[in-house]
Structure formats: C-alpha cells, structure tokens
Structure 1
C-alpha cells in the first residue's frame, strides 16, 4: 500500500497530469456537445454517436501515462524509488496500477459525461441504453482508457525519454495507423489489426470503419482481448527492461 501511495503522490506532484486528466475528459465531452448541438436532422442521434470523440480522450490519457512513466527517469526520482523498494518489480507494477486506475476513472467520466451531455443537448432523441452494446459503448470507455494507460506506461518504461516516448506514441496514434490504409492491396486488412483501431471497435470513437465500410474480422470483445494482450505485452517488456538496467 505504501508503494501505491508513493506512486499516487508522485503522479500528482506536477501540473501536467492534472491538465492531461482534465483534457482527456473535456475533449470528448466538448466535441459531443458541438456535434449534437450543430448537427441537423440528417445526423442520427444514437448512443454510438455520443462516443465519437472517445479516441481523442484516449490519446490524451496516453500522453498522461507516458509522462507518468518517463518523469521518474528525467527527475531522478526513479533511483530514489528503487533505493526505497529494492525489489523493483512491485514498484513498477504499482505505477502501472495507479496510472491504469486513474485512466479508468477518466474513461468512465468521459464516456458517461459525453452520453449525459448529449441527452441534454438533444432531449428529443432516444439515447437510452437499451442494449448490451449501448452499455458497452458508454461504460467500456473505462476499460479502454485503463488499457491505454498501461500501454503508455510500457512505452515510457521502455524508452525513458519523454520527448522520444511522446513522439513515438503520438506519431503511432495520429499518423502511422492511418497511413497503413495507403498500403496497396493489404492496407485495409492490416489496418484492422492496429491496436487503437481494436480499442475503438470495443468502445467506439472510430470514423474510418463506417466511412470505408470495413468488415471487421473480430467481434468487440475479441478486439478488446487483442488490445489488452498488446498493452500487457508492452507493459511487461517495459517492466522487464526497467528491472534490468541502471536507474
């Protein structure tokens, strides 16, 4: 418990995580308000559309997680942590648990907040959670945000450099996954196995599949398991390397 408490204190000791936490919730909610407020009758007001900006929130949560993992190495607190907890793995696991838990709360706030605000903006629309898929889209944000946090911590532990880690993470989410579609013949097939595309198939926030009318090879829960496996593998690799090299 002391290790978890220490990681929580370190996480919130600077302003950056606070700003990232606020933006990861406010960005999806703000987009949803604009979307439902400005869209006309030709746009269907349904539960899925309340989560169209979920990917933006996940991207900010990824930034938060990377900063949480790399700030220790940059400020020298990682060495102090390992002096206090000679068994490094528990300390690293605690960092993943704290960041993942925070991201889960942010995902829950973003998902339910977007859905709730959409009902206020469009009170005439039927946005009730009628089906299991509707519940998954709204409350599943907590799961995908938490896994995104684990993903970010893994990247940060592997690379340690804040600039390099952020550049790689943002380039992947904002550029590389989209550019895969440009690969001749196999682009669409490869794209459907990208990690954050998989996250979007579980909890929404993806325009591309609808626009291109892609036929996903997996169902939502299978995509979640696939995304979770990637995040877990990356986090495990980060813990392994951090445990073996000098602080």
Structure 2
C-alpha cells in the first residue's frame, strides 16, 4: 500500500498526466460532438450517402480509440521514463531493493487510471453524440454501447501493461513513444504488404488482434480466428512485454 501511495503522489504531482488525460477526453468528446451533429436517424427512405437509423455506436467513440487510448498510453510511458530522466528511480529502488514491487505498483496504478479515463471518455462521448444525433442506440448503458464500455477499458488497460514494459526496456521517452507509434500506426498495417507471407503475419499482430476484440468485425482485417482467441493473444503479448521489462529492470543498474 505504501508503494501505491508513493506512486499516486508521483502521478498526481505531475502536470503531464493531467494534460494527456484531459486532452484525450476532450478530443474524444469534441469528435463525438462533430459526429453527433452530422449523424441523424433516418425518418424515411434514406437518400444515397445519408446515414441510416440505428448506426453502430462505435462511430460515436472513434475519438476514444484514436485519441484517448493513445494519449493514456503515452502518459504511462512518460511516467516510467521520466523517473529515469530525472534519476528519481534511484531513490525508488533504494527504498525497494527488490525492485519488482515498485514496478508492479506503478503498473497497477497506471493500468487502473487508464481504464478509468477510457471508460469516462466512452460514456461522455456516447451520451453527447447520442443526445445530439437522436440515435437511441448510442447509449453506454445497453446494447452495443455497453459492450464497448466494457471492452475499451480492458483493451486500454492491457495496452498500458505492454507500453510500460517497453518503457522499462528502453528507459527513454522519445524512443519508446516513437517505437510505440510506429508499431501501432504503421508497422502492423504495412506487414500485410510483404509478398506471400505478409497477410499471414498480419493476422498475428497483437494490437490488431486487440482492436478486433474491442471493435468487432469491422476491423477483422487478416485475422482468421475468433474474438476471444484474438483477446487471449493480445493479452499474452502485453504480459510478456511487461515481464521482459521487469526482468531487464532486475538485471541492470538503475
């Protein structure tokens, strides 16, 4: 508990965390407002190019997957690498010589915070977009909206474990964030372009599997197995990355 309190004090006295979490929620809600104003339920025979009634609520929370989750992961990376940059990690490890409890406490705290921030963004985005558009299905408390409210925070939490593992491996904010963004935004999509084996490899990309479990058939891509198999693979990769980071922390100098 003392370690959790210590990590909580570190997190709540760091301005970057407030900026990243606040910006993530604000951008998601802002996009939901724009989408809500343009999306209207169909009252008759829809014309070409017009959205019909009962659209997937996933449309209303595009900002959560694009902005909120990404910025929450960056906040977790900065929390780890900032300690190495300012050498405060040495004091942490002096008070916790075995090291792994401190790493576990920080990971647990930021995983929970990421899940809470993501859940808040999903709820507000769906409520705002639903109110503006008049879409009855755009609610976070039933139907598909409830499913997204349950899955998005879990996906974001597991991703936090992965990026914190990467941060402990690299110990540098710019390098970790660059690798993470290239991996999630470019590499996983470009793998499919490799001749002959590209599409097979693309089906194993962890964040693609996480997206498939979270968002459903619309983002299946080259994945050939079911949603829960995709979830299991994504979770396994995230945990392995974190374990590798923990092992490296235990073996090298602070």
Q: With structure 1 as the length reference, what TM-score do the two structures score? A: 0.88
Q: Distance in 2 between matches of 1:187 and 1:43?
A: 35
* Residue 35 (structure 1) shift: 2.1
Superposition pairs of residues 95-244 of structure 1, within 5 angstroms: 95-128=106-139, 131=143, 133-204=144-215, 209=220, 214=221, 216-244=223-251
Label 1:206 to 1:163 Cα distance change in 2 as closer, same or farther (>3 A).
farther
Using a 3 Å threshold, how does the CA distance of structure 1 residues 228 and 178 change in structure 2: closer, same or farther? same
1:30 and 1:220 map into 2 onto residues whose CA distance is 30
- On the 8 A contact 2:111/2:160 being kept in 1, the answer is yes
Give the conservation status (yes or no) of the 8 Å contact 1:107–1:144.
Answer: no
Match of 2:36 in 1: 36
Label 1:35 to 1:187 Cα distance change in 2 as closer, same or farther (>3 A).
Answer: farther
Question: 1:119–1:204: structure 2 CA closer, same or farther, 3 Å change rule?
Answer: same
Structure 1's 24 and 193: CA in aligned 2 closer, same or farther, altered over 3 A?
farther
C-alpha contact (below 8 Å) 1:21/1:106 kept by paired residues: yes
Residue correspondences, number: 242
- In the alignment, which residue of structure 2 is the partner of 1:53? 63
User: Which residue of the partner structure matches residue 252 of structure 2?
Assistant: 245
The answer to whether the 8 Å contact 1:137/1:202 transfers is no
- Change in Cα spacing, 1:223 to 1:23, as seen in structure 2 (3 Å) is farther
Q: 2:216 & 2:194 partners in 1: Cα distance?
A: 23
| Residue 2 of structure 1: aligned partner | 2
* Greater relative CO (CA pairs within 8 A, separation 6+): 1
CA RMSD of aligned residues (A): 2.2
- 1:115-156 deviation per Cα after TM superposition (whole angstroms, max 9, x unaligned): 21221111244335654x542222211111111111111111
Q: Rate the CA distance shift 1:112–1:34 in 2: closer, same or farther, 3 A.
A: same
Q: C-alpha distance in 1, partners of 2:60/2:111? A: 23
For residue 182 of structure 1, report the CA deviation from its aligned partner.
2.1
**In structure 2, distance between residues paired with 1:203 and 1:7:** 29
The 5 Å alignment of 1:53-92 reads: 53-56=63-66, 57-92=68-103
Distance 1:205 1:59 in 2: 19
Q: How much has 1:206 moved relative to structure 2?
A: 9.1
**Structure 1 residue ranges without an equivalent (≥5):** none
**Closer/same/farther in 2, CA of residues 29 and 207 from structure 1, 3 Å limit:** farther
Contact 1:37 1:122 in 2 (8 A): yes
Q: Rg larger in 1 or in 2?
A: 2
Counterpart in the other structure of 2:21: 21
Rounded to whole Å, the distance in 2 between the matches of 1:76 and 1:126 is: 50
